Amino acid sequence: MFTIHLLGKFQITYDGLILDSDMIRSEMIVKLLSFLVVHRDRSLTVNELADVLWQEDETDNPAGALKNLMYRLRTILKKYFGDGEFIVTSRGAYAWNSQYEVTVDAEEFEKYCDSVTKLKDITKKISHYEKAIDLYQGDFLAKYASINWIVPLTTYYHSLFLSIVKKLAKLYRETGQYEKMEKTCAYALRYDNIDEKLHCYLIESFIYQNKLELANEYYERAEKILYDTLGVRESAKLREVHNGLMQMQKSAEAVEMNEINEDMVEEEPEGAFICGYPIFREIYRLESRRIARLGISEYVLLITVCMKKQAKSENNEQYNKYHIKKAMECLGKALKESLRIGDVAARYSNTQYIVLLPTLDYEDSVMIAGRIENNMYDKIKNARIRLKSDISEVTTTEAFGK
């Protein structure tokens, strides 16, 4: 029996012998063999195979090119697996020889997923989900994910994978298997790190295991991932989970004040306090209340990274994004070094940082902005980049960024 792996890296096993894409050393042959296996229930015409293997105008003689490619494929199969007739020809069509039984991991994965709907026992459901997830070693033919016929299959299996992971995480939660819940969600996030629900389940698994510090750290990380990739500044789902975490952060038992102080004190603080935007917003609101009570003014600084107009590449958006990304990394370091220990800064967008400057008047705020710019230019040494600074007074009538 042939065992063929299409989820993740392509690999075919027969009688203990292994053949993978690295050994084949031809993307075209891998794509041809994969298509034959996936559609092994029928014969495939020359035109159909040519359409999936070559774009229009890529070859002047698709029938001849296919014949040559098929010859090379048969030669490779015979080299590794013997003289069997693995691919048969009939009336201008090709097919996988049905005499050779085949097991495909993607199909087995789907069978396990479907079988759960017929089960009532939770233990059996968990077992089938676990077996399905073990089979998922990556997206369907991940190396060739942009090929037209592969795209819908990649989407289908990927969506099915995420669906069963979340169902399994829920069952783990119900049965108190929190360590497995953590490992499964962490594994799934390797293949899709923008699924909010997966991040929520992972944080919950930390909470249930009393890994509260880790849960807090991961919450900040998840917020950053969702912002950097999706532009989601604050996920409602993550916020809900985090609120639950904050309520559980300390036990209901009474503690001494010195214990509370020890927990709250920051060890060896250095430079400005750099945080996520949700935390920055809460600090801003608290500070706006404080200055309203004291009757003083404070300022907030918005720094935007821009590319000089003449340096932009209109035809290469990736080129522009690369330089902006590097500039933002340098700006983060410049802020840490240029600001005071009591200042607060957060990333506001893909091109902006926002800074709260307690106790400074407008003139001093302008001076700080200049210091940041100088520090930034010293670090980046990139003539394509410029900084734009906007200073605004903290008020009690606006909820900044709301």
Helical ranges in 136-195 per DSSP H: 151-175, 178-189
pLDDT tens per residue, range 369-399: 999 999 988 888 777 788 999 999 987 654 4
Residue pair 34/45 in contact (Cβ under 8 Å)? The answer is: no
Q: What DSSP designation does 272 have?
A: S
Q: What angle do CA 106, 107, 113 make, to 5 degrees?
A: 90
All CATH 1.10.10.10 domain ranges of the chain, comma separated, are 2-100
All CATH 3.30.70.270 domain ranges of the chain, comma separated, are 273-393
Q: pTM (2 decimals)?
A: 0.70
Query: How many C-beta neighbours within 10 Å does residue 379 have?
Result: 15
Q: Which of 34-38, 46-50, 58-62, 372-376 has the lowest mean pLDDT?
A: 58-62
Q: Which two tokens stand for residue 28?
A: 């075209």
Helical ranges in 116-256 per DSSP H: 122-135, 151-175, 178-189, 196-208, 212-230, 236-248
pLDDT exceeding 90 applies to what percent of the chain? 56
Helical ranges in 39-104 per DSSP H: 46-53, 62-81
Neighbour-count burial for 171-206, b at 16+ CB within 10 Å, e otherwise: bbeeeebbebbbebbeebbebeeebbbbbbbbbbbb
In this prediction, residue 267 carries a pLDDT of 61
pLDDT tens per residue, range 352-373: 999 999 988 999 999 999 999 9
Closest to 369 (Cα-Cα) out of 284, 291, 300: 300
Which single residue is written with the structure tokens 């999936």?
A: 52
pLDDT tens per residue, range 59-78: 778 889 999 999 999 999 99
Q: Is the pLDDT of residue 311 over 60?
A: no
In this prediction, residue 55 carries a pLDDT of 79
What whole-number distance in Å separates Cα of residue 331 and Cα of residue 351?
10
Would the CA dihedral through 14, 17, 21, 27 be positive or negative?
A: negative
User: What is 273-393's CATH number, 3.30.70.270, 1.10.3720.10, 3.40.1160.10, 2.60.120.860?
Assistant: 3.30.70.270
Q: Is the pLDDT of residue 140 over 90?
A: yes
In this prediction, residue 265 carries a pLDDT of 61
Report the CATH fold assignment for 2-100: Arc Repressor Mutant, subunit A (1.10.10)
Q: Is the pLDDT of residue 247 over 80?
A: no
Secondary structure (3-state) at 244: helix
pLDDT tens per residue, range 159-168: 999 999 999 9
The C-alpha R_g of the chain, in whole angstroms, comes to 29
Determine the average pLDDT of the residues in 258-287: 76
Tell me which amino acid residue 227 is: Y
Q: Which of 119-128, 139-148, 206-215 has the highest mean pLDDT?
A: 119-128
